[in-house]
Amino acid sequence: MAKKLMILGHPTIEQSLANSTIVSAVQQNVQDIEIRNLAQLYPDYKINVLAEQEALIKADIVIFQFPFYWYGVPAILKKYIDDVYTYQFAYGSEGDKLKGKKMQLSFTTGASEADYTPIGIENYRLPEFLKPLEQTAYYTGMDYLDPVFTQTMMYIPGLMGIKEEVVVNAKVHAERLIDKITQAEQSLEAVA
């Protein structure tokens, strides 16, 4: 059975309806998954690089779970990538520790699909903003899987969103993510 590692990059997961629903569903339905909550582990942003590299080495499938902030990943997740994906670990002549591992992005946005179009407020389609993460996967030898994302997931009580809709959409997102994890696991087993 493939080992799964979720890097949870939400800075305030306890305040998130969508991401906490997704993470909870994955935790309940995916066997042999380790979830590393970066904000909980490193509230001071001092990432234990060796511990994180060790977790990555053990994993076959790496899932990055996060809310899409300012056209990218939250600061704690960016710092994780910057600190952990080091020379001779993730890249370089001997940096092959991530080679062949599956990279799965799973994220939510507050903006709608219509917002992420050339005529929308965001001016670009959402996948265009993911190119740096996709290139990170390729550069480190990881197998980049099509991302799982759900839009219009912002809920602020009394101000924005409908709680019930966000929960339903988060559960559907979780089902899609679980299916992708299962497919990745099956592809690894087929090769073995």
CB atoms within 10 A of CB 192: 7
Which residue do the tokens 């990218």 mark? Answer: 72
Give pLDDT, residue 167: 96
- Residue-wise over 34-51: b if at least 16 C-beta within 10 A, else e? ebbbbbebbeeeebeeee
Give pLDDT, residue 157: 80
| Overall pTM surpassing 0.85 (yes/no) | yes
CB 112 within 8 A of CB 72: no
Give pLDDT, residue 178: 99
Give pLDDT, residue 73: 98
Give pLDDT, residue 170: 98
Dihedral of alpha carbons 10, 13, 17, 19, sign? positive
Task: State the residue range of the domain holding 125.
Answer: 4-191
Give pLDDT, residue 1: 86
In this structure, which amino acid lies at residue 40? Q
Give pLDDT, residue 192: 67
Number of compact structural domains in the chain? 1
**Looking at residue 142, which CATH number applies to its domain?**
3.40.50.360
pLDDT in tens, the chain (192 residues): 899 999 999 999 999 999 999 999 999 999 999 999 999 999 999 999 999 999 999 999 999 999 999 999 999 999 999 999 999 999 999 999 999 999 999 999 999 999 999 999 999 999 999 999 999 999 999 999 999 999 999 888 887 788 999 999 999 999 999 999 999 999 999 886
Which phi and psi (to 5°) does residue 78 adopt?
-65, -40
Give pLDDT, residue 188: 92
